[in-house]
Structure 1
C-alpha cells in the first residue's frame, strides 16, 4: 500500500489554488440527483471573496432540483492547456449549496458573467452560493494537496 500522496500545504499551493479559484468562470458541478444517482454538468461561476462561488441555475436544469434535494456537491475548476490535460493544475472542491436572494448577488455575478444580463431576470433562474468544505489541489505531476476553506480565501 502506498503512503500518503499529499504534500504539506505551503504558500505556493495556496497561491495556485487561489489563482485557479479566482480565474474560474465555469466549472464541472457534480450533484446527486433525487434518485441518488450522480450527475455532472457545466455551470457558469462568479468567484466570491472568502473562497466560494456564485452560480445562476435554472429550474430547467436537473442540477437545480438535485441541489434543492441535497446541497452537497463537487465542483472542479481549472482549464487544461496544450498537451496532456492531466498535466495542468485543477482544483476539486467539496461544496455546500445554498439558494440565496438573486437580487442581493446579481451585480457580483454579472461582473464575472456579463452576458447573463440577458436572462438573469427570468423567473426560473435562481442564485446559488457554493461554499467550500474542503478541496484537493492537483498542481501537476506529484503536486497534490489537501486544502481547507481557509487556504482558499
Structure 2
C-alpha cells in the first residue's frame, strides 16, 4: 500500500489557504468549454468574499458562456514568487460552483480592489459570479499538500 502525499489538515494549512484567497487579485479560471469536450482556462480578476471568490467577466467571453452552461469550475490561486522554482511556491485549486450574483452589491469593494475596472464595471455585458467552494486542494510547497473543505476557510 502506498503512502498518501496528502497531509492531515491543520491550522497552518487553513491559515495559508485563507491568506492565498484573501490576497489574490487574479487567478486562472477553468471551465467546461461550451464549444467542445475539453477544459478551457482563462485569467480572471478575483476578490474574496468570506469563503467564496467573486469574479467579474464579460458575457462576450467563452469562459462566461461556459459558466452559464455549467457552473462547475475551478480557480488556480497563487502566484510564483520572484525567486526559486515556481512549483515550490504556495498555490491552491479552488473547486467550486459558480452562480451569477448582484454585482452592484459589491461595486465599492471591487473597485477598491481593482481600480482599472471603473472603466467597464457598469457595462451591461459584465456579470459578477460567486464561486462557492466544494473543496480545496492546497499545495503549500514541497511536501505540504492538503485537502481542505469550505469551512476550513472560515476565520478563527
Query: Normalising by the residue count of structure 1, what TM-score does the alignment of the two structures yield?
Result: 0.95
Contact 1:33 1:69 in 2 (8 A): no
Deviations 1:27-50 (Å, cap 9, x if unpaired)? 00000012332100000011112x
Contact 1:46-1:54 at 8 Å conserved across structures? yes
Shift in Å, 1:2? 2.6
Post-superposition CA distance 1:40-99 (Å, at most 9, x none)? 0000011112x1111100022110000000000010111101120000000111011000
Match of 1:126 in 2: 127
Who is 2:48 aligned against?
A: 47
SS at match of 1:106: helix
- What does residue 13 of structure 1 align with? 13
- How far apart are the structure 1 equivalents of 2:2 and 2:42? 33
Post-superposition offset of 1:106: 1.6
Deviation at 1:145, TM superposition (A): 0.3
3-state SS of paired residue (2:41)? strand
Residue 26 of structure 1 aligns with which residue?
A: 26
User: Number of residues paired by the alignment?
Assistant: 152
Question: Which 5+ residue runs of structure 1 have no aligned equivalent?
Answer: none
Larger mean Cα displacement after TM superposition, 90-99 or 34-43: 34-43
Uncovered stretches (5+) of structure 2, i.e. residues with no partner = none
Find the residue that maps to 1:91 and give its secondary structure: strand
Distance 2:65 2:2 in 1: 39
Query: Counterparts of 1:36 and 1:74 in 2: how far apart (Å)?
Result: 16
CA distance in 2, matches of 1:2, 1:39: 33
TM-score (norm 2): 0.93
